[in-house]
């Protein structure tokens, strides 16, 4: 443990925040896969499965907006630990007898999980801004990329874990194991996280929830459509398509989606190497525009392949892998830009507003994923995805060239 003691306090806090975020993400990814596969197996339609997540996404929108204000007033250590505890409660709600796992109850548990997830994520992303020296944009980009990329890689592991646990232990056995593990992480976090991390010097008013920065408003709008473009096919349509059309079981579906998200997370973590930095500066709005245009080409190709049945299966699987790589770079660029644009005092206000838009994009994508797939099929989901990426690119034209304070 000597090497740990020799690290600077900021790096130790960064490691604690990251470890906390990792543990939460594992349970979040596993829980999502458990719910999708378990309830689809019970005969729920794609739209019905999507509706199980609607409160998860709706409350994520509200939580990011209000959570940023709470983080600035209470401190990010408190909001992060509150998020962990609420996830434990959400898991415990699903330990009721199987006969009680009705739609309304599961939606309520998902609402609790959505609040927990976005409190935890907002706290983790905001903390990085405070642990990096002012003006060190290149270092900030790298730290944000590592935090975001590693988190998403573990979310992919969580998808695989969810499918595996469902096959090995059943729904409730999997839920119980995750709840116990997360409880111990919560205890460690309560003891280790720095007190008053991220608490604003000037207490923000509740009326200051909405961002007054044009750069943050444009970036938030771009983020909304970017994440809608992913979830419109990823959340419900793809897992159900792989089960119904490819005949894959829980292991195969969980394994494929896990591989996609793990690869996506890995690319996110090395995004600074891919996009490059000059003179210690991070990327700017022009980078975001260019990568959005590249991303939009992929769903068009896949949709054409499915529409005209041209090597459809191969194009779908390979195309979605390429989409994952390009989406990862886009997401990592956005994650850096919001932390860079955010003000130093009360950073969680700006980050919370931005992730509110992120959650809104997921909400729109989730609902569309079930509805479009059930009525029109996967190809339509991908055409809509391409349109949403196009909107992301159009908005990205308005992003500034350099960091905004």
Three-state SS for 344-376 is: CCCHHHHHHHHHHHHHHHHHHHHHHHHHHHHHH
Give domain 7-200+208-396's CATH architecture.
Answer: Up-down Bundle (1.20)
Q: Report the percent of the chain where pLDDT is more than 90.
A: 25
Ranking 90-94, 126-130, 140-144, 375-379 by mean pLDDT, the lowest is 126-130
Average pLDDT score, the chain: 81
C-alpha of 195 from chain center: 26
User: Quick check: 30 and 169 in contact, CB under 8 A?
Assistant: no
List helix spans (H) across 54-135.
54-74, 76-93, 103-131
The answer to whether residue 254 scores a pLDDT higher than 80 is no
Tens digit of pLDDT for each residue in 157-182? Answer: 887 788 788 888 888 888 998 999 99
Strand partners, 278: 281
Q: What is the mean pLDDT of residues 228-237?
A: 90
Highest mean pLDDT among 62-66, 73-77, 223-227: 223-227
Both tokens of residue 230?
Answer: 């992913």
Helix-helix angle 250-269:312-341, to 10 degrees: 40
Q: What pLDDT does 131 receive? A: 64
The answer to whether residue 69 scores a pLDDT higher than 80 is no
Q: What is the mean pLDDT of residues 79-101?
A: 88
Q: What pLDDT does 378 receive? A: 94
Give φ, ψ of 349 to 5 degrees.
Answer: -60, -50
Q: What is the mean pLDDT of residues 121-130?
A: 72
- 242 closest CA partner among 402, 373, 61, 389: 373
Both tokens of residue 281?
Answer: 């500066």
23: left (phi > 0), else alpha (psi -120 to 50), else beta? alpha
The vertex-147 CA angle with 145 and 152, nearest 5°, equals: 90
Q: What pLDDT does 137 receive? A: 73
Q: What pLDDT does 106 receive? A: 86
d(CA 316, CA 324): 12
The answer to whether residue 207 scores a pLDDT higher than 60 is no
Both tokens of residue 187?
Answer: 């205890």
Q: What pLDDT does 400 receive? A: 85
Of residues 53 and 382, more confidence is placed in 382
The answer to whether residue 397 scores a pLDDT higher than 60 is yes
The answer to whether residue 85 scores a pLDDT higher than 90 is yes
Reported as a pLDDT band with limits 50, 70 and 90, residue 404 is: very low
Q: What pLDDT does 243 receive? A: 85
Q: What pLDDT does 41 receive? A: 78
Q: What residues does each domain of the chain span?
A: 7-200+208-396
Q: What pLDDT does 201 receive? A: 57
Q: What is the mean pLDDT of residues 7-23?
A: 72
- 331 closest CA partner among 286, 284, 267, 385: 267
Q: What pLDDT does 200 receive? A: 56
Handedness of CA 239, 106, 92, 228 (dihedral sign): positive
Reported as a pLDDT band with limits 50, 70 and 90, residue 129 is: low
Q: What pLDDT does 42 receive? A: 79
Q: What is the mean pLDDT of residues 318-345?
A: 86
Q: What pLDDT does 1 receive? A: 46
d(CA 274, CA 323): 15
Tens digit of pLDDT for each residue in 299-330? Answer: 999 999 999 989 989 999 999 899 999 999 99
Reported as a pLDDT band with limits 50, 70 and 90, residue 405 is: very low
C-alpha distances out from residue 330 to 139, 334, 367, Å? 18, 6, 23
């Amino acid at each position: 443990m000597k090497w740990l003691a020799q690290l600077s306090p900021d790096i130790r806090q960064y490691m604690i925040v990251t470890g906390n975020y990792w543990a939460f993400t594992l349970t979040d990814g596993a829980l999502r896969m458990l719910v999708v596969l378990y309830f689809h197996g019970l005969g729920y339609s794609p739209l019905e499965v999507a509706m199980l997540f609607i409160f998860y996404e709706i409350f994520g929108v509200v939580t990011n907006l209000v959570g940023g204000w709470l983080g600035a007033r209470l401190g990010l250590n408190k909001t992060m630990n509150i998020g962990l505890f609420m996830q434990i409660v959400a898991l415990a709600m699903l330990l009721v007898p199987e006969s009680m796992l009705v739609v309304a109850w599961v939606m309520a548990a998902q609402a609790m999980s959505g609040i927990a997830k976005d409190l935890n994520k907002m706290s983790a992303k905001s903390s990085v801004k405070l642990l990096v020296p002012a003006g060190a944009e290149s270092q900030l980009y790298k730290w944000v990329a590592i935090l975001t990329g590693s988190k998403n890689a573990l979310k992919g592991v969580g998808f695989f874990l969810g499918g595996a646990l469902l096959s090995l232990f059943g729904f409730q056995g999997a839920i119980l194991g995750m709840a116990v593990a997360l409880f111990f992480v919560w205890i460690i976090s309560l003891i280790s996280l720095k007190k008053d991390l991220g608490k604003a010097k000037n207490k923000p008013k509740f009326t200051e929830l909405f961002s007054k920065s044009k750069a943050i408003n444009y970036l938030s709008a771009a983020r909304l459509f970017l994440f809608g473009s992913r979830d419109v096919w990823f959340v419900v349509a793809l897992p159900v398509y792989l089960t119904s059309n490819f005949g894959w079981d829980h292991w195969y579906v969980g394994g494929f989606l896990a591989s996609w998200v793990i690869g996506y997370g890995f690319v996110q973590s090395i995004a600074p190497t891919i996009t490059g930095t000059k003179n210690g500066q991070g990327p700017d709005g022009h980078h975001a525009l260019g990568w959005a245009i590249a991303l939009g080409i992929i769903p068009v190709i896949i949709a054409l392949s499915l529409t005209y049945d041209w090597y459809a299966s191969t194009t779908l699987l390979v195309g979605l892998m390429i989409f994952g790589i390009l989406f990862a770079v886009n997401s990592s660029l956005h994650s850096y830009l919001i932390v860079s644009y955010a003000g130093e005092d009360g950073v969680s206000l700006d980050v919370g507003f931005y992730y509110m838009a992120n959650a809104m994009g997921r909400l729109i994508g989730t609902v569309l994923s079930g509805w479009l797939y059930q009525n029109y099929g996967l190809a339509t989901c991908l055409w809509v995805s391409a349109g949403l990426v196009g909107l992301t690119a159009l908005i990205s034209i308005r992003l500034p060239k350099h960091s905004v304070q």
